[in-house]
Amino acid sequence: MDRLAKNWINGEWIDSQQYVQSINPATYEVIGQYADVTTEQVEQAISAAKTVFKKSGWKRDRHLRAKVLNEMADAFERHADELIEILATENGKIKPEATFEVTMIPAKLRYYAAVTLTEYGRALEPKPGSYSMVLREPMGVAGIIVPWNSPVVLMVRSLAPALAAGVTAVIKMPGQTAQTNALIARIFSELSALPKGVIHLFSESKSLGARLLIDSPDVPVISFTGSTATGKAISAAGAQHLKRFGLELGGKTPMIVFKDADLDLVLPKLEKAVTIFAGQFCMTGSRLLVQREIADELKQKLAQRLSAVSVGPAADPNSDMGPLIDKNNVERVNATVEKAIAEGAKVIVRGGPVTEGELAKGAFYRPTFLEVHDNSLQIIQEETFGPVLTVQVFDTEEEAIELANDNQYGLAASVWSRDVNLPLRVAAELEAGTVWINDWAVVYDEFEEGGFKNSGLGRMNGMAAMDDFIEYKHITISTGIAGSE
């Protein structure tokens, strides 16, 4: 396929002297190529974004920002079918998953358009003749670093509050989704209300551009979604400039199932929690904790469901789960599983790489289900980022909480019980930024999400998402009017 994805910098389509192939991970067929960004191009984007922030009225014109966000929502709706198609092809998601990602974007943009016009500061008279106000002001240029697993919605999740706050943005997109990235940039280019230079978007195969954003003194804020190790590294690098960081990092979501849970409701969610996006999701339900009284029944029924999952390309409507992003990740996930088995994990469903037939050309990995008795194993303590589920058995509520919290991550958790009080008690004790009761992966634009412990800093979604991009300024006015005696 002769398709070249270029970078979009300062309102122009920018080519490069270096090209990288775009791959369909389900077939490993080449679907195009992209211009790998250069140092000079990223520096140009940062400079232009800084100039627009300093010299234009963007940061003070709330009505313009709301108009741009609403227009952007309309544009994403117009291009939804095209986005779904290229995302499924390039990212490996099956069509329902790609549809879910793309169709949730307009509402998010419209929410922040509304927030732009309804946000408020504070003003009062602390004493006679003295008036004080606190303004929330945009910080400048935001560097937005986007992962490959859900590139469209995770980009918008950072960009929407950034634009609402009034910053300008330089967006680093992953090379694995360059064709999708180019379509996003084309959507931006169609926005008549968007001033030139407010948004810049580039793709890269490595991390050169991301590093420039992190190291630049002209980029005071970084919004990053990705692994905990990378999040810590960029935080350390940006500390010399005291950058503001919004970080959503790794997760190891415990799915806690008590003996009175409705298994007819639980089982489909457990299956989907480990197979959605082929397990390449920060909130993947990768740790099953089940009370002993129902453990055998749940393990047996879940094993049947996971064994029946049909892996395949998005082009096949019968596919239940798509491929991993590439074959390197297939090898990485499989090595993690093999290590766990060698350390004593019991195999319930082996799954693993597809090595025969037409699917062997792609990066397919069948769901794996392991029983673990040692909570210190790597497969329990570290994010696997693949369709791998572990199960541990507990006896008491206190034991379930202890197992769930005995982990470096704290992004999310799920609790299942017919009781009213029990799941609320457990939720109060769980060290997680989001807790679902009798559900999983429910996210609302209006409500904040983010991680405890090593799962991040700051919050995405909701009003608090804007705080990553805002400084507070206190202004006091002495009028000389002391008031009546």
Q: Could you give the 3-state DSSP secondary structure of residue 270? A: helix
Cα atoms in the 13 Å half-sphere on the side-chain side of 72: 28
Structure tokens belonging to residue 307: 């064994």
**Choosing from 101, 248, 271, 449, which is the catalytic residue?**
248
In 16-129, the DSSP E strands lie at 19-24, 29-35, 122-127
Strand partners, 475: 133
Tell me how far apart the terminal alpha carbons of the chain are, to the nearest angstrom: 82
The DSSP letter of residue 345 is: P
Rounded CA separation 210/104 (Å): 26
Query: Who's near 404: CB < 8 A, 6+ residues apart?
Result: 254, 256, 287, 289, 413, 430, 431, 432
Whether residue 245 contacts residue 214, with contact meaning beta carbons closer than 8 Å, is answered with: no
Identify the sign of the CA torsion 458, 463, 465, 467: negative
* 248 flagged as catalytic: yes
Residues, the chain: 485
Q: What ranges in 190-313 are assigned the alpha helix state H?
A: 208-215, 228-238, 263-275, 292-307
Tell me, yes or no, if 448 is annotated catalytic: no
- Catalytic machinery residues: 248, 282
